[in-house]
Amino acid sequence: MFDELWQLIEGMQSPVGLWEAVVAILFSLAASIVTYLMYQLFYGSRHIGAGVHRMFIIGGPAITALFLGIQVSIPLSLGLLGALSFVRFRTPVKDPAEIGFLLLLIASSIGAATDNFLVTGILFALVFIALGIHWLTRNRFNVFGRAHLMISVDQPSYPDLEGKLSAFLKERLRGLRLETMSVLEDRVSLHYQYRRRTDYDWSAFTNDLNQLAGPAKVDIYIG
């Protein structure tokens, strides 16, 4: 009986060694945790995505185990492609940054499955340095940063206000550019882009604009 059980266990053994599989999955788990922490550090405060980071810790080891299972068999890999063709993900990726973190997770999982630990470590180091530089400089260097301003004015008052409004905005905002103008329900909406400023006094800007408009109703949306 025991001999038959042992033969069954031997028949179930994977072509991938036990310790090789354990090391690969543990490395993938560690990489997934690092990816999750990097997401929270560099992106969590601006979280507007679909919450894909919640699957990082489970997804990394799962992808590694998946590649460990199919890398020794072409029929298995072809069958996997056929099976996954029926899967439809209903949660949309709402921000391009999430795609970057997903690619980092997948790359680290494949690297763990193929024993490319050094390449994966270099990838994480370079990504961490790049994200760190971006995080340190994003609020200090705004030479190319653009922001949005929308102004809504009563349509009857707009012809008299157009010239004064244009001169006022060009004087107060650098790199001003009118993107779109639309009219809806007796309101003229103007969409501008300007060079972003972090130390601007928007309260004074709003007060001066309201004084310029006089009795006309002006709504301001700053992005």
Whole-number Å distance between alpha carbons of 42 and 132: 8
The predicted model gives 68-89 an average pLDDT of 61
Angle at 132 between CA 127 and CA 135, to 5 degrees: 125
Residues in CB range of 72: below 8 A, 6 or more apart = 14, 15, 16
Question: Is 146-222 in CATH node 3.50.50.60?
Answer: no
Q: Do residues 44 and 54 lie in contact, with contact meaning Cβ atoms separated by under 8 Å? A: no
End-to-end CA distance of the chain: 74
Residue 8 pLDDT level (bands cut at 50, 70, 90): very low
- Which residue type sits at 59? G
pLDDT for 223 beyond 90:
no
Percent of the chain with pLDDT over 90: 11
Helix H or strand E segment including 1: none
Return residue ranges of the chain for CATH 3.30.70.260.
146-222
pLDDT tens string 149-193 = 888 888 777 777 778 888 888 888 877 888 888 887 778 888 888
pLDDT at 31: 92
pLDDT for 65 beyond 70:
yes
